């Protein structure tokens, strides 16, 4: 099956790659943007003897890249997509019995191998743009390696990337052959334009675009962090570009038609300005683009295990991403890459974008691994293991949803949930709705939530669902068909019942995100204890109760992105077991007192409450400890002796370690149950706490058998030769004594603690307690710089004794007697 392929930089390495995969079943290929790895390599591998009639699977991180790669390969061999080369993705398939190169999105491949671990009929799996380190790519590679080891030693695995952490990937693959293709198709002139402080990124990008249009030729690709910034730049450019310049957006929520329009070459005599997110970083060529403008920013999802919420953060791009973006300018001719930051800042950028597995909701990963028969992350080979906190949160969620049993194994419900190919929460929602004959509505709502942009941009999911059901267009139609397939895959589904609301459906998916108004318009508290806000002008801001499906921003004040209204009656009907009435003790920050109440609540949401008499005992002490966590240790009335005790124990912990405990703020807050609660059982408010109880509590942290050593190792005072006691400070890195120099006359050795092993840092002062000298060697001071100090002090304090040899003089706290 010989093909006449164009000569690209990677062409020089095709023979090496073929030889490597003939000898071994794994290889790594590193090639810069424009080298041709995405399109040339899969076609070249069609002729390899090990392939037989097996298919080659090429994984791409995004649908746009998958369609573009398939289209380019098909054109290279003179065919249309769906013949030798096809693609498969969630809402769109173009494959046939003839297809031998199948381009798939990474999530589709994970489904393929989970359904068929032997990968029957597949000869090779190529992981393209692996440096993006999506969760699906990491998981897909772990599954492929496991299947290859146990079931398919003849399966070839090739990991490809333009910017790759080669050493770590090669180690994961047991040191296979590594082929490196150098060079790019055309040179790129990288320029830097530092963005002045206070300048909005939209303004900086708009200015760079306008200047480039005026001074350079060719089309422009500008990288921005998100859809909102793209819209604002487009608004700024409106009316400022000539009729021969076409400004188009490119981001994930656009339809296939709109995305294809963005990457299509500009018409003859026209220029194009493409405003894109990171979606345009890899695997696509936009013909005619020779100028890249890089904002240096990207938006990444960050999962918070403590809340189960994924929020988006705008962060600096990595050096690898910056190189990828710059590479877009040199795909078809010499190009220019304009970076909107100072050149010196490039070295401070992270080397690679953080792997998605380290900051993602892992519930579907845990569910799929349980289906694979692996109950702990160590059971598969990951470059970066799943974080323990996120793994634990995912297991807890899946067990709450009934998908896993107590051992972490898949339940019958879990198998059905996994078959739906939806996020775990939405799978649970569809199954619960099916019991009431509402599966069709739930499936459409689930698809709406997983395919951004459908049904408009309203926060109100009820409104978006109505619009989606009536929406015209290829993407909306494909999404509705997907919802129908989801319903068709259910083993049991009652006949369709009375239409329900989006909010009632969402209760089954997000019970922890049921939210109650705080009283102020647009301010809510969720059942998980976190706050949420809606713009006051939005209709939902006046709602009494909501279920929140999506939000962003900080956990304390998340900004609601998608929600639906519910009523208290909905909760009473659908999840009555979650509403609890109980007597509880709590800390009231406004009064700094412990109070009691009988409350009816759903998690952190309090529906009704009745005051009860003030509590006492251990329960009150526990609530008081909660108050300390809220207010911080600074709210506690530590005496000077108590503060010094903390410093002494802290010094011993730093210098000796165990058994001397850590008594820093964080450590003490973590151990309130050990040193605080047992000593406050008869206290009802912060202002009633005594300093003595705090002192005793701190001492209780020191093991009894070493308490007697505290005074010897870290005494509170130093007794001077005059007989005066002076406090020793332990608030710094070493014990310190501030003392007037005359009180040390006659002392021939340096003061020390700890049995004489640890010298004190002496802060020597004048008779007026003003600093003179700091020393760790008193005899050396007497023999050295004392002469200069004496000369200065005699002039300032003539009434005080300043002997030439202070080591042999008598210590004193007084001035010289009159007449001497």
- What are the DSSP calls for 106-146, one per residue? HHHHHHHHHH-TT-TTEEEEEETTGGG--HHHHHHHHHHHH
Looking at the structure, tell me whether residues 641 and 784 fall in a common domain: no
Domain region containing 456: 420-578
**What is the SS3 assignment for 180?**
strand
Of the residues 160, 180, 200, the one at which a domain ends: 180
Closest CA to 713 of 750, 749, 755, 751: 755
Closest CA to 753 of 702, 715, 709: 715
Contact in structure between 283 and 60 (CB atoms under 8 Å): yes
CA 741/CA 726 separation, integer angstroms: 13
Of the residues 677, 712, 747, the one at which a domain ends: 712
Count up the domains in the chain and report the number: 5
Looking at the structure, tell me whether residues 437 and 538 fall in a common domain: yes
Q: What is the pLDDT of residue 599?
A: 92
CA 6/CA 436 separation, integer angstroms: 59
Closest CA to 203 of 222, 189, 190, 187: 222
Looking at the structure, tell me whether residues 219 and 76 fall in a common domain: no
Closest CA to 562 of 551, 554, 570, 571: 551
DSSP state letter for 10: G
The helix (H) or strand (E) run that includes residue 324 is helix 319-327
Cβ of 380: how many Cβ atoms within 10 Å? 19
Q: In this structure, is residue 800 part of a structural domain? A: yes
Cβ of 226: how many Cβ atoms within 10 Å? 15
Q: What is the pLDDT of residue 283?
A: 62
Q: What is the pLDDT of residue 755?
A: 73
Q: In this structure, is residue 595 part of a structural domain? A: no
Looking at the structure, tell me whether residues 720 and 644 fall in a common domain: no
CA 465/CA 467 separation, integer angstroms: 5
Q: What is the pLDDT of residue 817?
A: 61
Residue written as tokens 């999911």?
Answer: 461
Looking at the structure, tell me whether residues 520 and 554 fall in a common domain: yes
Looking at the structure, tell me whether residues 335 and 194 fall in a common domain: yes
Cis peptide before 659 (omega within 30 of 0): yes
Q: In this structure, is residue 376 part of a structural domain? A: no
Looking at the structure, tell me whether residues 489 and 554 fall in a common domain: yes
Residues of the chain with pLDDT under 50: none
Looking at the structure, tell me whether residues 315 and 235 fall in a common domain: yes
Q: What is the pLDDT of residue 36?
A: 86
CA 712/CA 693 separation, integer angstroms: 24
Of the residues 712, 741, 772, the one at which a domain ends: 712
The helix (H) or strand (E) run that includes residue 102 is strand 101-105
Looking at the structure, tell me whether residues 706 and 720 fall in a common domain: no
Q: In this structure, is residue 413 part of a structural domain? A: no
Looking at the structure, tell me whether residues 450 and 535 fall in a common domain: yes
Strands in 108-259 per DSSP E: 122-127, 156-161, 178-180, 188-192, 219-223, 245-250
CA 476/CA 460 separation, integer angstroms: 18
- What are the DSSP calls for 672-730, one per residue? HHHHTGGG-TT--BGGG--HHHHHHHHHHTS-HHHHTTHHHHS-SEEE-TTS-EEEEE-
Which CATH number does the domain housing residue 118 bear? 3.40.50.300
Q: What is the end-to-end Cα distance of the chain in Å, rounded?
A: 115
Q: In this structure, is residue 639 part of a structural domain? A: yes
Looking at the structure, tell me whether residues 244 and 306 fall in a common domain: yes
Q: What is the pLDDT of residue 448?
A: 94
Q: Which residues are CB-neighbours of 517 under 8 A, at least 6 positions away?
A: 523, 524, 543, 544, 545
CA 252/CA 62 separation, integer angstroms: 9
For residue range 7-25, list pLDDT tens digits in order: 888 999 999 999 999 999 9
Q: In this structure, is residue 380 part of a structural domain? A: no
Cβ neighbourhood burial of 35 (10 Å; 0-12, 13-18, 19+): buried
Positive/negative CA dihedral, 20, 21, 25, 28 = positive
DSSP state letter for 741: G
CA 454/CA 467 separation, integer angstroms: 8
**What is the SS3 assignment for 71?**
helix
Looking at the structure, tell me whether residues 232 and 246 fall in a common domain: yes
Q: In this structure, is residue 401 part of a structural domain? A: no
Q: Find the radius of gyration of the CA atoms of the chain.
A: 35
CA 713/CA 700 separation, integer angstroms: 18
Q: In this structure, is residue 611 part of a structural domain? A: no
Q: What is the pLDDT of residue 436?
A: 86
For residue range 130-149, list pLDDT tens digits in order: 988 899 999 999 999 999 99
pTM of structure: 0.74
CA 160/CA 473 separation, integer angstroms: 35
Contact in structure between 752 and 778 (CB atoms under 8 Å): no
């Amino acid at each position: 099956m010989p093909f006449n392929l164009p000569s690209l930089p990677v062409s020089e390495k095709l023979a090496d790659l073929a030889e490597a995969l003939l000898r071994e079943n794994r290889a790594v290929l590193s090639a810069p943007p424009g080298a041709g790895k995405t399109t040339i390599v899969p076609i070249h591998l069609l002729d390899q003897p090990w392939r037989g009639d097996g298919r080659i699977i090429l994984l791409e991180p995004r649908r746009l890249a998958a369609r573009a790669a398939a289209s380019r390969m098909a054109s290279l061999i003179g065919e249309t997509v769906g013949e030798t080369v096809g693609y498969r993705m969630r809402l769109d398939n173009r494959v046939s019995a003839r297809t031998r190169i199948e381009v798939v999105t990474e999530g589709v491949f994970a489904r393929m191998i989970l359904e068929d671990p032997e990968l029957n009929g597949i000869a090779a799996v190529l992981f393209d743009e692996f440096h993006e380190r999506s969760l699906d790519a990491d998981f897909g590679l772990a599954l492929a390696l496991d299947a290859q080891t146990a079931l398919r030693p003849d399966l070839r695995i090739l990991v490809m990337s333009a910017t790759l952490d080669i050493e770590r990937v090669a180690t994961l693959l047991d040191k296979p052959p590594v082929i490196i293709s150098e060079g790019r198709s055309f040179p790129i002139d990288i320029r830097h334009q530092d963005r002045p402080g206070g300048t909005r990124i939209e303004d900086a990008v708009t200015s760079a675009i306008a200047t480039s249009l005026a001074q350079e030729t060719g089309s422009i690709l500008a990288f921005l962090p998100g859809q909102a910034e793209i819209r604002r730049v487009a608004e700024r450019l409106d009316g400022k570009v000539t009729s021969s310049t076409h400004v188009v957006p490119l981001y994930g929520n656009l339809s296939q038609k709109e995305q294809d329009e963005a990457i299509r070459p500009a018409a003859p005599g026209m220029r194009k300005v493409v405003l894109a997110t990171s979606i345009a970083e890899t695997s696509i060529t936009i013909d005619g683009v020779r100028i890249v403008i890089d904002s240096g920013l990207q938006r990444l999802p960050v999962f918070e295990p403590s809340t189960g919420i994924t929020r988006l953060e705008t962060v600096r791009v990595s050096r690898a991403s910056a190189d990828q973006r710059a590479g877009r300018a040199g795909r078809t001719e010499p190009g220019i890459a304009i970076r909107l930051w100072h050149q010196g800042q490039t070295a401070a950028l992270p080397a690679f974008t953080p792997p998605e597995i380290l900051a993602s909701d892992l519930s579907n990963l845990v569910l799929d691994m349980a289906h694979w028969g692996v109950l702990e992350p160590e059971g598969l080979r990951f470059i970066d293991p799943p974080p323990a906190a996120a793994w634990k949160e995912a297991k807890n969620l899946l067990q709450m949803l009934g998908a896993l049993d107590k051992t972490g194994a898949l339940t019958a419900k879990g198998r059905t949930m996994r078959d739906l190919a939806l996020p775990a929460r939405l799978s649970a929602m569809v199954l619960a709705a099916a019991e009431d004959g509402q599966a069709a509505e739930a499936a459409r709502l689930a698809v709406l939530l997983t395919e951004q942009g459908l049904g408009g941009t309203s926060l109100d999911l009820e409104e978006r669902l109505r619009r989606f059901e009536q929406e015209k267009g290829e993407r909306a139609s494909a999404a509705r068909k997907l919802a129908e397939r989801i319903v068709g895959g259910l083993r049991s589904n009652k006949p369709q019942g009375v239409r329900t609301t989006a909010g009632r459906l969402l209760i089954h998916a997000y019970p922890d995100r049921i939210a109650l108004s705080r009283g102020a318009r647009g301010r809510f508290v969720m059942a998980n204890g976190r706050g949420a806000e809606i713009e006051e002008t939005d209709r939902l801001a006046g709602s009494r109760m909501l279920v929140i499906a999506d939000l962003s921003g900080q956990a304390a004040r998340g900004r609601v992105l998608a929600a639906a209204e519910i009523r208290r009656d909905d909760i009473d009907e659908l999840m009555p077991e979650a509403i609890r009435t109980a007597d509880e003790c709590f800390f009231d920050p406004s009064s700094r007192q412990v109070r009691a109440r009988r409350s009816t609540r759903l998690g952190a949401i309090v529906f009704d409450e009745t005051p009860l008499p003030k509590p006492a005992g251990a329960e009150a002490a526990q609530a008081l400890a909660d108050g300390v966590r809220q207010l911080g240790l600074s709210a506690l009335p530590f005496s000077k002796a108590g503060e010094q005790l903390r410093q002494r124990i802290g010094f011993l912990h730093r210098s000796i370690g165990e058994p001397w405990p850590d008594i820093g703020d964080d450590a003490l807050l973590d151990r309130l149950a050990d040193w605080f609660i047992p000593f406050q059982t008869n206290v009802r408010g912060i202002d009633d706490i005594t300093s003595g109880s705090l002192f005793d509590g701190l001492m209780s942290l020191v093991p009894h058998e070493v308490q007697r050593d505290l005074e010897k190792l870290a005494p509170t005072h130093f007794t001077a030769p005059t007989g005066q006691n002076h406090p020793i400070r332990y608030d710094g890195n070493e014990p310190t004594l501030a003392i007037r120099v005359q009180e040390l006359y006659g002392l021939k050795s340096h003061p020390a603690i700890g049995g004489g092993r640890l010298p004190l840092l002496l802060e020597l002062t004048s008779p007026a307690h003003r600093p003179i000298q700091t020393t760790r060697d008193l005899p050396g001071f007497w023999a050295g710089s004392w002469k200069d100090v004496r000369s200065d002090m005699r002039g300032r304090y003539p009434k005080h004794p300043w002997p030439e040899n202070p080591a042999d003089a008598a210590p004193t706290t007084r001035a010289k007697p009159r007449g001497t």
